[in-house]
């Protein structure tokens, strides 16, 4: 997933989980971003501030080295209303449902999908799995990506509507007004 304003900086909220340490019965994790992590996320997302951010995950092993990650992320975001320019706060509550697979399998699936693109009608393909990088699934990054995707890029204060000021056009203000003035001057001479 790509982030808005993404730079080559490290992820602002990291909660790495080694897949080798996940028991066969699965893993349940609750995480909360620190003040420093929330500030770093706000800077990357381009919002005024992130007042709170927490998530809960269930990571369940599947066959073939895959892992099913489900859960939700909740956050309170401070932004600026695009109409009134007043500070506002909004709640984010996003569900997460992802499959992770070893990098080699993800590359193989991506190649298969690309080969299928040569057909006249592309087949219905489910989203490819996310890659397990260096044996790690980063729950912080998953939560951050879900949060970023849910941020309203044009937040408005409840009940506020943008109304453009409408003014009646001046009949003397048109492209032919200058020609009319020249014609009037010529007739007076």
Expressed as residue numbers, the domain containing 136 is 16-188
In sequence order, which residues have a C-beta less than 8 Å from that of residue 51 and are 6 or more positions away? 38, 75, 76, 77, 78, 89
Does 126 fall in a domain?
Answer: yes
User: pLDDT tens string for the chain (189 positions)?
Assistant: 444 444 456 789 999 999 999 999 999 999 999 999 999 999 999 999 999 999 999 999 999 899 999 999 999 999 999 888 999 999 999 999 999 999 888 777 766 666 655 555 555 556 788 999 999 999 999 999 999 999 999 898 887 776 666 666 666 677 777 777 777 777 776
How many domains does the chain fold into?
1
Sign of CA dihedral 106, 33, 27, 73: negative
Does 33 fall in a domain?
Answer: yes
The SS3 call for residue 70 is strand
**Closest CA relative to residue 65, chosen from 28, 27, 17, 106:** 106
Does 4 fall in a domain?
Answer: no
What's the rounded Cα separation, in Å, for the pair 116 and 76? Answer: 42
Does 3 fall in a domain?
Answer: no
Does 67 fall in a domain?
Answer: yes
Provide the H-helix boundaries in the chain. 35-45, 103-116, 139-150, 177-188
Tokens representing residue 178 in the block: 């200058």
């Amino acid at each position: 997933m790509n982030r808005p304003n993404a730079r080559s900086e490290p992820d602002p909220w990291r909660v790495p989980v080694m897949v080798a340490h996940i028991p066969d019965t699965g893993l349940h994790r609750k995480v909360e971003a620190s003040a420093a992590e929330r500030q770093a996320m706000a800077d990357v997302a381009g919002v005024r501030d992130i007042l709170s951010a927490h998530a809960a995950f269930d990571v369940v092993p599947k066959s073939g080295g895959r892992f099913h990650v489900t859960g939700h992320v909740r956050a309170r975001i401070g932004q600026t209303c695009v109409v009134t320019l007043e500070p506002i706060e909004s709640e984010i509550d996003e569900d997460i449902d992802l499959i992770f697979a070893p990098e080699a399998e993800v590359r193989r699936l991506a190649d298969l999908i690309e080969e299928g693109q040569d057909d006249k009608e592309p087949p219905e393909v489910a989203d490819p799995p996310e890659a397990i990088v260096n044996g790690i699934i980063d729950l912080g990054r998953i939560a951050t990506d879900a949060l970023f995707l849910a941020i309203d890029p044009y937040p408005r204060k409840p009940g506020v509507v943008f109304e453009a000021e409408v003014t009646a056009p001046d009949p003397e203000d048109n492209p032919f007004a200058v020609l009319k003035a020249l014609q009037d001057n010529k007739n007076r001479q």
